[in-house]
Amino acid sequence: MSKSDRSFLHQFSLLIAGLAVLTLVLIFTAWTIYEHEPQETNPNAAQQLSSSLAPNGAVYAGNTGRAAMEAAQEAAAKAAAAQVAYGGTTDGKTIYDNLCHSCHTAGVAGAPVLGNKTMWGPRIAEGLDTLIKHATDGYHGPDGNFMPPKGGNPSLTDAQVKAAVTWIVSQAK
């Protein structure tokens, strides 16, 4: 082999090795860029997952099951009603101090402040029965104010609600 042939083979080998290294560098760079790009997501993936996890059938209990569910709901309502708030007291001040003060002291959700005759005047003009009804059933006022049913304590009796409303109104007269 002549000197020029060896020189050619040497340079050609270096060229091939350089191209191989360049190929590896380009492959590694492309792989790195691909890993950092956000992956495409299927917009229906969540729906497909939930449908695949959903049960294939449902249980139909018929009238027997419906009656059992209604009986359970009735029992829960009776159990809740059996637990009367604050030992069954009908002292309006006690009920106010335990429940009503949280909103009617600071005026939360538009609640009229205890003793504020300006705020209570128009409400008292509607009548005590209306105020008791709003306190018992709940009330959404036109100006965005809100009174939850029984002040948010369903274990209050109607007599307790009436006693609390009567006491609060007496503070504003």
Domain spans in the chain, listed from the N-terminal domain onward:
85-172
Per-residue model confidence (pLDDT) at position 19: 97
Taking 90 as the threshold, does the pLDDT of residue 56 lie above it?
Answer: no
DSSP-derived 3-state class of residue 142? coil
DSSP-derived 3-state class of residue 140? strand
Question: Pick the residue with more confidence: 13 or 40?
Answer: 13
Tens of pLDDT, residues 119-153:
888 888 989 898 888 888 988 887 778 888 888 88
Tens of pLDDT, residues 57-108:
666 667 777 787 788 888 877 776 667 777 778 888 888 888 888 888 888 8
**pLDDT, average across residues 6-21:** 95
Taking 90 as the threshold, does the pLDDT of residue 8 lie above it?
Answer: yes
Per-residue model confidence (pLDDT) at position 57: 67
Torsion of CA 140, 141, 143, 146, to 10 degrees: -50
Question: Pick the residue with more confidence: 120 or 13?
Answer: 13
* Dihedral sign (CA 58, 63, 69, 70): positive
Q: What gap in Å lies between CA 44 and CA 42, rounded to an integer? A: 5
DSSP-derived 3-state class of residue 126? coil
Q: What gap in Å lies between CA 25 and CA 15, rounded to an integer? A: 15
The arrangement of secondary structure in 85-172, i.e. its CATH architecture, is: Orthogonal Bundle (1.10)
DSSP-derived 3-state class of residue 147? strand
Question: Pick the residue with more confidence: 81 or 7?
Answer: 7
Cβ neighbourhood burial of 50 (10 Å; 0-12, 13-18, 19+): exposed
Per-residue model confidence (pLDDT) at position 59: 64
Question: Pick the residue with more confidence: 111 or 15?
Answer: 15
Do 94 and 86 form a contact (C-beta atoms < 8 A)?
yes
Question: What's the pLDDT band for 14 if we cut at 50, 70, 90?
Answer: very high
Per-residue model confidence (pLDDT) at position 58: 63
**pLDDT, average across residues 15-34:** 95
Per-residue model confidence (pLDDT) at position 60: 64
Q: What gap in Å lies between CA 116 and CA 83, rounded to an integer? A: 33
pTM of the model: 0.52
